[in-house]
């Protein structure tokens, strides 16, 4: 096949534009505008993590003194028992119920414990009690011990060894302190994968990538701009979450703020690279969504967002600890809660950076432009 | 997969060259090879004296492209879109100038998602223009547009050629090719089956006029040969009681035709005469219509 267009003399067209434009900046601006003009996207990126933090923060907030719900079997001694327990209403919430009701309530986790006083009989004039509860439920087991202990002392039991209790609380030691860095990491993962991956595939489907490729635009400028715009979206996302956590739950940052910023950026880079890799070949939104869930789901479960990843068996640990989100969550918790310094966390930062660089390079190599 | 084969074209500076053919004929494949988006398995492509293998970046700086189906970002305004494309080129005209050339300045601040089909297509042309290209590739620039938007685009393409730019466009509308293009290559099944100016192509089928008539049913098989012998008739096609004759002089051919039909007791229901078009060229060369083929192969 032969196709030819002949050399043309360069004609002078009217007033060649002299204004300078930088492609990286122009693509970045375009991405920012597209994002901000999409209200749903703004909500999912900025609003959703806050709602999630608020909900989880309230659900797991520190209760001053644990309160137990206790049901008492309706009978002759029920009133007396209820009066004893009601001396400390902040600790016990008492109801007197018949068997069908309290069994139902036990089954539905509405009550922690049922006390069944022994029916009076000729053999024993003393009061004796049966505790009915699910022995596998930690709340019920605790309630049984506390109620038992309380009732024995009411009846005059003396402890052979005198004991005192002292409350220990350290900054960064509460569940919400554990949770916030995890949510931050989760947000960085989701934002990186969706923010880069989804947009890339969308542009591929619309043949916009192909159109760009037909211009002198440099490929690395384009990919660079995608990463930069991702960084820019991330700044408000993180500021909002941290400010919110500080004012609502009094979550403070023990470590160096600059170190935290750098770590967040390296984390964001790791996930932007991963997003680019996931999107590098996909031709449909369904494919890329599936791939993203495939990548994200294991990390949601394993990487210690809501509970420590140490809970998983020893054999799985090397794998779990290598996942980028596990590494990032550990880094964020080390800085925010433990106040660790660069000297302690640099190996983890290196692992994260490696994730970013390696995924970016592979993506660049296998990227499908049309 | 082989879409085009043995295709030889030369496009001269400052002309508007059209690739005309039904959908699936290989027009888009051809133009995408020229644009450097597809790599041909064999053959050479020379754009402005350069080769895609040696100077791809330099060629991209000097050509402008509008693809058949690009959906530009709906959330960017017209001006922002053109500015984005401007930033990819070393030099070019200002985004404002590009919009003025396609008469889209009054929509500069509208989101592209809110534009009509014709306005979107003009925006695509503005994006192709903003790098101040010497050579423009327009793949099906008016497909799917209403007649008014098509005319508006034709005006724009004409004015571009007037400014000394070379334009290569593909189309399956013969009227578009006929009106816009200095030269045309008719493409079918990946091959150029005819090439020349619209006038010379039409002249090549023998007659500049066409007589079409329909016969009243039931119509027996009409014999071609005697019709071909009628004065001034160059070619005859008969399908389903519908006759198409290309002729030099309708005023000579029509009385002879009517007399022939009368002798054979064939009743006319309709008769029209018109100038021959590129459609007739295509039908004469392939035995098929541009549109029919389009629907099947699309």
3-state secondary structure B158-223: HHHHHCCCEEEEEECCHHHHHHHCCEEEEEECCEEEEEECHHHHHHHCCCCEEEEEEECCCCCCCC
Residue A137 structure tokens: 């439920």
pTM: 0.76
Of residues A33 and B241, more confidence is placed in A33
Least confident of A257-261, A286-290, B94-98, B289-293: B289-293
Residues A137 and A256 placed together within one structural domain of the fold: no
Same domain (yes/no): A54, A130: no
Q: In a structure prediction context, what are the per-residue pLDDT tens digits for chain B, which is 298 residues long?
A: 566 776 778 888 889 999 998 888 888 888 888 888 888 888 888 888 888 888 999 999 999 999 887 889 999 999 999 999 999 999 899 999 999 999 999 999 999 999 998 899 999 999 999 999 999 999 999 888 888 889 989 999 998 888 888 999 999 888 888 889 999 999 888 888 888 998 888 888 777 788 988 887 766 677 778 888 888 888 888 877 788 888 888 888 899 988 888 888 888 888 998 888 888 888 888 877 776 544 433 3
* Residue pairs spanning A and B at CB distance below 8 A: 149
Please indicate, yes or no, whether residues A267 and A319 belong to a single structural domain of this protein: yes
Same domain, A104 and A144: yes
B36 with A370: Cβ contact below 8 A: no
How many contiguous H segments (helices) and E segments (strands) does chain B have?
Answer: 12, 13
Query: Distance between CA atoms of B120 and B127, rounded to whole angstroms?
Result: 11
Does A18 map to a domain? Answer: no
For A16, the closest of B6, B47, B93 (CB atoms) is: B93
Q: Are residues A52 and A133 in the same domain?
A: no
Instruction: Please give the Cα distance from B174 to B202 (Å, whole number).
Output: 11
Q: Does A32 touch chain B (CB under 8 A)?
A: no
Nearest-angstrom CA–CA distance, A279 and A298: 18
Q: How far does A277 lie from chain B, in Å, by closest CA? A: 22
Q: What are the Cα distances from residue A331, in Å, to A11, A321, A353, B20, B149?
A: 59, 12, 12, 62, 59
Q: Among A91, A120, A154, which residue terminates a domain?
A: A154
Query: Which CATH architecture group holds B16-201?
Result: 3-Layer(aba) Sandwich (3.40)
Give yes or no: residues A183 and A135 share one domain: no
Q: Is residue A211 part of a domain?
A: yes
Q: What is the mean pLDDT of residues A314-325?
A: 92
Cis peptide before B218 (omega within 30 of 0): yes
Mean pLDDT of all residues in A8-28:
65
Q: What's the whole-number mean pLDDT along residues A236-259?
A: 87
A47 lies in the same domain as A74: no
Q: Is A217 on the interface with B (CB under 8 A)?
A: yes
Q: Which of B15, B87, B131 to mutate to test the interface with A (most CBs of A within 10 A)?
A: B87
- The residue assigned the tokens 């909002």 is A240
pLDDT for residue B241: 77
Same domain for A213 and A97, yes or no, is no
The chain B residue lying nearest A23, using CA atoms, is B87
Instruction: Output the CA–CA distances (angstroms, integers) from residue A346 to A270, A328, A359, in the order listed.
Output: 15, 12, 20
- Residue in chain A closest to B31 (alpha carbons) equals A3
What's the token pair of residue B161? 């050629």
The residues, ordered by sequence, that sit 6+ positions from B151 with a Cβ below 8 Å of its Cβ are none
Mean pLDDT of chain A: 85
Q: Which residue of B has its CA nearest to A15?
A: B93
A356-365 pLDDT tens trace: 999 988 988 8
pLDDT of residue A128: 84
Cross-chain Cβ contact B75/A16 below 8 Å = no
* CATH top class, domain B206-275: alpha beta
Q: What is the pLDDT of residue B182?
A: 92
Q: How many other β-carbons are positioned within 10 Å of the β-carbon of residue B229?
A: 11
Q: Are B96 and B130 in contact (CB under 8 A)?
A: no
Cα distance from B138 to chain A (closest Cα, Å)?
A: 12
Instruction: Write down the pLDDT at residue A199.
Output: 86
- Interchain pair A13, B44: CB under 8 A: no
On whether both A181 and A322 belong to a single domain, the answer is yes
Same domain, yes or no: A274 and A141: no
Nearest residue to B109 (alpha-carbon basis) of B85, B81, B79: B79
Q: Give me the residue from A16, A17, A207 closest to B69, CB to CB.
A: A207
> Nearest CB to A216: which of B11, B14, B57?
B57
pLDDT over 90 (residue A11): no
Provide, rounded to the nearest whole percent, the portion of chain A with pLDDT above 70. 91
Mean pLDDT of A127-133: 87
Helix, strand, coil percent content, chain B, rounded in steps of 5: 40, 25, 35
Domain closes at, from A154, A182, A206:
A154
Residue A122's CATH number: 3.40.190.10
At residue A42, the pLDDT reads 79
DSSP designation for B50 = E
For residue range A54-99, list pLDDT tens digits in order. 887 777 766 555 788 899 998 888 888 888 888 888 888 899 999 9
Closest-approach residue (CA) in chain A for B50: A7
> Min CA distance, A237 vs chain B (Å)?
21
Q: Is residue A226 one of the residues assigned to a domain?
A: yes
Cβ–Cβ of B87/A25 closer than 8 Å?
A: yes
Residue A3 lies in a domain: no
Whole-angstrom Cα distance, residue B81 to residue B127?
8
Q: Is residue A163 in some structural domain?
A: no
Q: What percent of chain A has pLDDT over 90?
A: 29
Write out pLDDT tens, residues B48-96: 888 888 899 999 999 999 988 788 999 999 999 999 999 999 989 999 9
pLDDT at position B105 is 93
Biggest CA-to-CA distance, chain B: 73
How buried is residue B51: exposed, middle or buried, by Cβ count under 10 Å (0-12/13-18/19+)?
middle
Smallest CA–CA distance from B4 into chain A, residue = A1
pLDDT at A220: 83
Best of A2, A4, A5 to substitute, by most chain B Cβ atoms within 10 angstroms, is A5
A17/B47 touch (CB, cutoff 8 Å), yes or no: no
Calpha distance A364→A206 (Å, rounded): 20
* Residues A53 and A244: beta-carbon distance below 8 Å: yes
CA nearest A6 in B: which residue? B48
Does A194 lie in the same domain as A102?
no
Chain A contact set for B33 (CB, 8 A): 1, 3
Return the pLDDT at A12: 43
Domain span including residue A139: 68-154
Domain count, chain A: 2
Instruction: Supply the DSSP symbol for A17.
Output: B
> Chain B: nearest CA to A370, how far in angstroms?
9
Spell out the domain ranges in chain B: 16-201, 206-275
pLDDT confidence of residue A120: 61
A201 & A331 share domain: yes
Q: What was the pLDDT predicted at A5?
A: 56
Q: Residue A369 above 60 pLDDT?
A: yes
At residue A84, the pLDDT reads: 87
CA–CA min distance A14, chain B (Å): 8
Task: Please state whether beta strands B8-11 and A2-5 pair in parallel, antiparallel, or not at all (unpaired).
Answer: parallel
CB of A88 within 8 Å of a chain B CB? The answer is no
Q: How many CB atoms lie within 10 A of CB B202?
A: 22
């Amino acid at each position: 096949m032969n196709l030819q267009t002949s050399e043309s003399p360069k004609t002078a067209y009217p007033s060649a534009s002299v204004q300078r434009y930088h492609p990286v900046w122009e693509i970045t601006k375009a991405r920012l505008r597209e994002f901000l003009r999409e209200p749903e996207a703004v909500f999912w990126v900025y609003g959703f993590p806050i709602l999630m933090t608020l909900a989880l923060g309230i659900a797991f907030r520190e209760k001053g003194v644990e309160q137990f719900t206790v049901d008492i079997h309706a009978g002759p001694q029920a009133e007396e028992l209820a009066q004893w327990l009601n001396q400390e209403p902040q600790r016990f919430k008492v109801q007197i119920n018949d068997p069908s009701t309290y069994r139902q309530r036990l089954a539905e986790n509405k009550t922690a414990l049922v006390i069944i006083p022994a029916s009076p009989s000729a053999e024993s004039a003393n009061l004796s009690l049966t505790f009915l509860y699910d022995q596998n439920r930690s709340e019920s087991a605790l309630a049984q011990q506390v109620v038992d202990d309380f009732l024995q002392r009411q009846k005059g039991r003396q402890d052979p060894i005198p004991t005192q209790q002292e409350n220990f609380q350290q900054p960064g030691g509460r569940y919400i302190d554990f949770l916030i860095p995890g949510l931050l990491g989760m947000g960085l993962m989701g934002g990186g994968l969706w923010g880069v991956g989804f947009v890339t595939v969308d542009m591929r489907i619309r043949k916009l990538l192909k159109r760009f490729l037909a211009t002198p635009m440099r490929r690395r400028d384009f990919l660079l701009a995608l990463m930069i715009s991702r960084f820019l979206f991330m700044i408000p996302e993180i500021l909002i979450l941290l400010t919110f956590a500080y004012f609502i739950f009094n979550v403070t940052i023990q470590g160096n703020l600059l170190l935290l910023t750098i770590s967040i950026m390296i984390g964001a880079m790791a996930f932007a690279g991963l997003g680019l890799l996931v999107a590098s070949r996909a031709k449909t939104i369904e494919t890329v969504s599936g791939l993203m869930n495939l990548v994200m789901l294991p990390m949601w479960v394993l990487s210690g967002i809501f509970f420590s990843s140490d809970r998983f068996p020893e054999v799985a640990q090397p794998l779990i600890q290598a996942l980028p989100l596990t590494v990032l969550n550990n880094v964020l918790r080390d800085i925010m809660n433990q106040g660790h310094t660069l000297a302690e966390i640099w190996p983890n930062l290196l692992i994260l950076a490696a994730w970013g660089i390696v995924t970016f390079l592979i993506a660049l190599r296998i990227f499908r432009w049309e | 997969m082989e879409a085009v084969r043995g295709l030889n074209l030369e496009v001269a500076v400052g002309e508007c060259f059209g690739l005309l053919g039904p959908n699936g004929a290989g027009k888009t494949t051809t133009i995408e090879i020229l644009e450097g988006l597809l790599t041909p398995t064999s053959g050479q492509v020379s754009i402005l004296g350069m080769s895609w293998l040696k100077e791809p970046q330099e060629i991209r700086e000097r050509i402008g492209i509008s693809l058949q189906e690009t959906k530009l970002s709906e959330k960017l305004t017209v001006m922002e879109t053109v500015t984005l494309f401007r930033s990819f080129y070393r030099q070019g005209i200002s985004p404002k100038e590009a919009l003025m050339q396609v008469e889209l300045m009054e929509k500069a601040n509208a989101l592209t998602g809110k534009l009509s089909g014709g306005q979107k297509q003009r925006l695509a042309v503005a994006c192709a223009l903003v790098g101040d290209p010497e050579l423009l590739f327009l793949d099906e620039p008016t497909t799917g547009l209403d007649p008014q938007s098509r005319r508006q685009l034709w005006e724009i393409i004409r004015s571009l050629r007037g400014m000394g730019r070379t334009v290569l466009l593909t189309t399956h509308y013969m009227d578009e090719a006929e009106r816009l293009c200095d030269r045309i290559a008719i493409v079918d099944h990946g091959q150029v089956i005819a090439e020349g100016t619209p006038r010379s192509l039409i002249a090549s089928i023998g007659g500049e006029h066409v007589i079409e008539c329909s016969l009243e049913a039931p119509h027996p098989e009409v014999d071609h040969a005697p019709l071909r012998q009628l004065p001034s008739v160059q070619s005859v096609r008969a399908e389903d009681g519908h006759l198409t004759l290309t002729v030099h002089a309708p005023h000579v051919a029509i009385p002879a035709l009517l007399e022939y039909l009368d002798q054979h007791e064939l009743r006319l229901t309709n008769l029209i005469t018109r100038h021959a078009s590129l459609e007739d060229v295509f039908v004469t060369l392939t035995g098929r219509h541009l549109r029919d083929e389009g629907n099947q192969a699309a």
